[in-house]
Amino acid sequence: MEKKKKPPPRIGVQPAQVWRDSFVDEVRQAVLSGCTSNPKLAKYFGVCHATIGKWRKLRPEFNTAILHANKSLLAEVTNQMLISATEHQITDEKVLSDGTIVQFKKTLPGNVRAQETLARILGSGLMDDGDNSWDPKSKLEVSSLDTNPIAFVMKEISDDLEDKGVLSHKN
């Protein structure tokens, strides 16, 4: 009896993964860990990027999870960049020769690179083209907080920093 040979694996084609409702929670974690594009999400889920596009169209909760996670990630990055761009205090530790650990506060000046990057981003804008990739060549209109996600995020971050006393609001 002759053995049947298995067909060779098709290179570049990934097996289709069947949709599971747990993907909504998983995609949030994937985006927050850096999978910010359909191709990266496809690799994460083990499917082709066209499948991610289909899931985003057919499963609104999946697409919404991606969009919300992207906004959270953008807010966190922007917040950290604002802190880095402005003078701020950190708590540092030093180990003395006798083994004692001493904590102290240190004031760091604003990071010039963070300031330049923040100015460039706010000057040129961010755009989500549906693939969650940002286009630095797009223009940003900061006229309406209701329709502009970056303006909304920046206002929230600014208000939060004012509440914490990091930014002083002069009248």
Which pLDDT value is given to residue 66?
93
pLDDT, mean of residues 146-157? 61
pLDDT, mean of residues 79-87? 86
Q: What is the pLDDT of residues 31-58, one digit of tens each?
A: 988 888 999 999 999 898 899 999 999 9
The answer to whether residues 141 and 148 touch, using CB atoms and an 8 Å cutoff, is: yes
Domain boundaries, the chain: 23-164
Give me the torsion for CA of 159, 160, 166, 171, rounded to 10°: 20
Tokens representing residue 122 in the block: 């706010």
SS3 165: coil
Comparing 58-62, 70-74, 97-101, 143-147, which segment has the lowest mean pLDDT? 143-147
Which pLDDT value is given to residue 132?
44
Which pLDDT value is given to residue 114?
82
pLDDT, mean of residues 124-137? 48
pLDDT, mean of residues 86-91? 87
Which pLDDT value is given to residue 116?
80
pTM, whole model, 2 decimals?
0.51
Tokens representing residue 38 in the block: 């359909």
Amino acid type, 28: R
Which pLDDT value is given to residue 137?
53
Per DSSP, helices labelled H in 36-148 are 38-45, 49-58, 60-85, 112-124
Tokens representing residue 111 in the block: 């990071």
Q: CA–CA separation, 5 vs 3, rounded Å? A: 6
Q: CA–CA separation, 23 vs 42, rounded Å? A: 12
- The alpha carbon of 165 is separated from its chain's Cα centroid by a whole number of angstroms, namely 25
